[in-house]
């Protein structure tokens, strides 16, 4: 790979730069999402549809703990991008060191708690009836590897903050490809069932971690830290924490959402309804990969140029990112609307699941064309270090709108109430985010540009 400098984030044309940042991010997310999809297909066909529901029950818990690493990674990445833009490499080094220490301390504490209360946690997240035993097996084994996954997520965001998206892409691809290979060996060849699925997932985290370590020890990284950088500094921890809390709060709300939806659907339609949601959840992760890639690519560009005081480039990056993301979201919407039936039949042959999922999937993706504004808007505030608006806008969809909707609408419309809550929440959160993003551009960025010109 050609050597890339973080200074490119402030020099190259925004459109070209966003493509260079977004394409590797999109490929990485695609491979990761394909891993989740194929993993689900393997589990569904080699173990059974109950296994799909079991994994869906466990994911929000393990992802929440892993998201602690992602939160620390994204929060610190914003600090690192702005520090590099402001020509302050020492702050970038101390930030990275503090991220490593924080990730280890926090995730290990949560893993101990998670293993202590295994049964109650699995039951709380919808692991009832036939789902409980396979969910407990998967949960326990995967939790052992979650601190490593958290370090990988943290490191990947730092790699992107340096402006090295291709390396970040590889870091996302390694655990995905590794998981599929280990799935084949442990589930299909050795017939280890849920134990095999769990150890395949955990093993893939360690493969990714080995690559992350190699990257930062090689000449490809600008961040060469020593032991002194690992000592926690109050000012840096506060800044990482404030911005990282945005990501953590989002994942916490997602986990709570899974808890509510899994339990509501189980009460309304049993294991089959939980499996429907599991398949739709996989498609949400997979189908939106190009939109999420643009969002990932946008973050270091906005952060670096904001830190460097190049506000016209910040505005340009917002406009181009929304334009690209909206176009891609429209294509995703068209794909889901046309092919929901064939998509579902790839996962399972269960008659109830095959008949009920397409209608639900269409509702869940109904507002996809407008989500670009919500994603880019929330990402902007996080990229430039404005924690409070970033937090509030991040929580609008899941926390302020979706959770109240799923608690109310199913009482009147049954399962349909769950599915229509998705597009309603998307529309409402997009309106709120669009209002505040436009206000930020008019009242903060444009006046700053005018002041520089005087």
CA distance 322 to 329: 10
Q: Is 47 helix (H, G, I), strand (E, B) or coil?
A: coil
DSSP structure class, residue 243: H
Together in a domain, 86 and 201: yes
Which pLDDT band, with edges at 50, 70 and 90, does 42 fall under?
Answer: confident
pLDDT, position 315:
92
Interval 43-92: pLDDT, tens: 777 777 777 777 777 776 666 766 777 778 878 888 887 887 778 888 88
Is 4 inside a domain boundary?
no
CA distance 358 to 360: 5
List all residues 6 or more positions away from 116 whose beta carbon is below 8 Å from its beta carbon: none
Together in a domain, 312 and 186: no
Is 92 inside a domain boundary?
yes
CA distance 23 to 177: 18
pLDDT, position 452:
63
pLDDT at 186 over 50: yes
Which pLDDT band, with edges at 50, 70 and 90, does 173 fall under?
Answer: confident
Q: Residue 293 to residues 8, 325, 336: CA-CA distances in angstroms?
A: 19, 9, 19
Interval 224-266: pLDDT, tens: 888 888 888 888 888 888 877 777 777 778 778 877 888 898 8
Together in a domain, 169 and 52: yes
What's the mean per-residue pLDDT of the chain?
A: 83
- Contact (CB, 8 A) for 8 and 163: yes
Q: Residue 313 to residues 9, 12, 160, 298: CA-CA distances in angstroms?
A: 10, 10, 19, 12
Interval 311-339: pLDDT, tens: 889 899 999 999 999 999 999 999 999 98
Region 274-289: mean pLDDT is 81
User: Which of 232, 262, 294 is where one domain is finished?
Assistant: 232
Is 243 inside a domain boundary?
no
Together in a domain, 46 and 147: yes
Q: 19 vs 29, which has greater pLDDT?
A: 19
Q: What is 331-357 written as a DSSP string?
A: HHHHHHHH-HHHHHHHH---HHHHHHH
Name the residue range of residue 222's domain.
17-232
pLDDT, position 321:
94
Q: Residue 98 to residues 33, 105, 145, 365: CA-CA distances in angstroms?
A: 30, 11, 21, 39
Together in a domain, 161 and 307: no
DSSP structure class, residue 11: H
User: Which of 232, 264, 289 is where one domain is finished?
Assistant: 232
Together in a domain, 257 and 398: yes
pLDDT, position 426:
93
Together in a domain, 256 and 226: no
Is 7 inside a domain boundary?
no
Region 3-23: mean pLDDT is 73
- Contact (CB, 8 A) for 204 and 175: yes
Is 208 inside a domain boundary?
yes
Region 265-279: mean pLDDT is 84
Q: 217 vs 254, which has greater pLDDT?
A: 217
List all residues 6 or more positions away from 401 whose beta carbon is below 8 Å from its beta carbon: 424, 425, 428, 429
Q: What is 77-89 written as a DSSP string?
A: HHHHHHHHHTT-H
Number of domains in the chain: 2
Interval 294-309: pLDDT, tens: 988 898 888 888 888 8
CA distance 87 to 228: 21
pLDDT, position 431:
95
Structure tokens belonging to residue 49: 């549809």
pLDDT at 348 over 80: no
pLDDT, position 81:
79
Which pLDDT band, with edges at 50, 70 and 90, does 3 fall under?
Answer: very low
Region 419-432: mean pLDDT is 94
pLDDT, position 36:
64
Chain mean position to CA 7:
26
Together in a domain, 304 and 389: yes
User: Which of 167, 198, 232 is where one domain is finished?
Assistant: 232
Together in a domain, 177 and 275: no
Q: Express as a percent the part of the chain with pLDDT over 90.
A: 19
Q: 119 vs 211, which has greater pLDDT?
A: 211
Buried b (16+ CB within 10 A) or exposed e, 29-61: bbbbbbbbbbbbbbbbbbbbbbbbbbbbbbbbb
Q: Residue 171 to residues 164, 214, 408: CA-CA distances in angstroms?
A: 11, 11, 41
How many residues can be counted in the chain? 454
Q: Express as a percent the part of the chain with pLDDT over 70.
A: 92
pLDDT, position 63:
67
pLDDT, position 45:
72
CA distance 407 to 403: 6
pLDDT at 25 over 50: yes
Together in a domain, 171 and 283: no
What pTM did the predictor assign?
0.69
Interval 112-165: pLDDT, tens: 888 888 888 888 777 777 788 888 888 888 888 888 888 888 888 888 777 787
Q: Residue 318 to residues 71, 311, 341, 434, 441: CA-CA distances in angstroms?
A: 22, 11, 36, 12, 10
Together in a domain, 36 and 98: yes
Is 10 inside a domain boundary?
no
Is 244 inside a domain boundary?
no
pLDDT, position 4:
45
Together in a domain, 82 and 201: yes
Q: Residue ranges of the alpha helices (H) in 270-414?
A: 271-287, 289-307, 311-338, 340-347, 351-364, 371-383, 387-395, 403-413
Is 394 inside a domain boundary?
yes
Region 413-418: mean pLDDT is 92
Which pLDDT band, with edges at 50, 70 and 90, does 174 fall under?
Answer: confident
């Amino acid at each position: 790979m050609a050597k890339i400098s973080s200074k490119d984030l402030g020099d190259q044309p925004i459109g070209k730069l966003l493509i260079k940042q977004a394409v590797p991010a999109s490929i990485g997310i695609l491979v990761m999402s394909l891993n989740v999809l194929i993993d689900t297909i393997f589990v569904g066909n080699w173990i059974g549809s109950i296994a799909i529901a079991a994994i869906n029950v466990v994911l929000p818990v393990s992802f929440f703990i892993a998201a602690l690493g992602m939160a620390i990674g994204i929060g610190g990445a914003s600090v690192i991008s702005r520090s590099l833009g402001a020509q302050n490499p020492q702050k970038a080094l101390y930030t990275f060191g503090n991220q490593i220490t924080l990730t280890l301390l926090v995730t290990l504490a949560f893993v101990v708690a998670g293993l202590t209360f295994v049964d109650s946690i699995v039951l709380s997240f919808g692991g009832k009836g036939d789902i409980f035993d396979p969910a407990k097996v998967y949960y326990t084994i995967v939790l052992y590897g979650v601190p490593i996954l958290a370090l990988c997520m943290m490191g990947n965001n730092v790699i992107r903050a340096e402006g090295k998206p291709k390396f970040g892409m590889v870091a996302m691809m390694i655990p995905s490809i590794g998981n599929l290979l280990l799935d084949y060996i442990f589930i299909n060849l050795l017939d280890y069932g849920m134990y095999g699925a769990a150890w395949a997932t955990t093993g893939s985290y360690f493969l990714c971690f080995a690559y992350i370590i190699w990257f930062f020890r090689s000449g490809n990284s600008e961040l060469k830290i020593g032991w002194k950088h690992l000592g926690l500094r109050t000012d840096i921890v506060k800044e990482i924490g404030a911005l990282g809390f945005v990501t953590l709060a989002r994942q916490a709300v997602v986990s709570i959402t899974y808890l509510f939806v899994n339990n509501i659907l189980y009460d309304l339609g049993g294991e089959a309804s939980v499996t429907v949601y599991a398949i739709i959840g996989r498609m949400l992760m997979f189908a939106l990969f190009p939109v999420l890639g643009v969002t990932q690519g946008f973050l270091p560009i906005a952060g670096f140029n904001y830190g460097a005081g190049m506000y016209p480039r910040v505005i340009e990056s917002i406009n181009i990112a929304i334009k690209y993301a909206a176009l891609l979201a429209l294509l995703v919407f068209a794909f889901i609307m046309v092919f929901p039936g064939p998509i579902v039949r790839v996962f399972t042959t269960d008659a109830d699941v095959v008949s009920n999922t397409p209608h639900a999937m269409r509702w869940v993706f109904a507002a996809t064309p407008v989500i670009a504004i919500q994603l880019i808007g929330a990402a902007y505030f996080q990229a430039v270090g404005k924690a409070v608006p970033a937090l509030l806008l991040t929580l609008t969809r899941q926390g302020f709108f979706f959770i109240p909707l799923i608690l109310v609408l199913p009482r009147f419309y049954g399962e349909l109430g769950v599915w229509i809550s998705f597009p309603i929440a998307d529309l409402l959160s997009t309106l709120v985010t669009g209002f505040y993003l436009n206000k930020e551009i008019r009242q903060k960025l444009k006046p700053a540009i005018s002041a520089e010109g005087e």
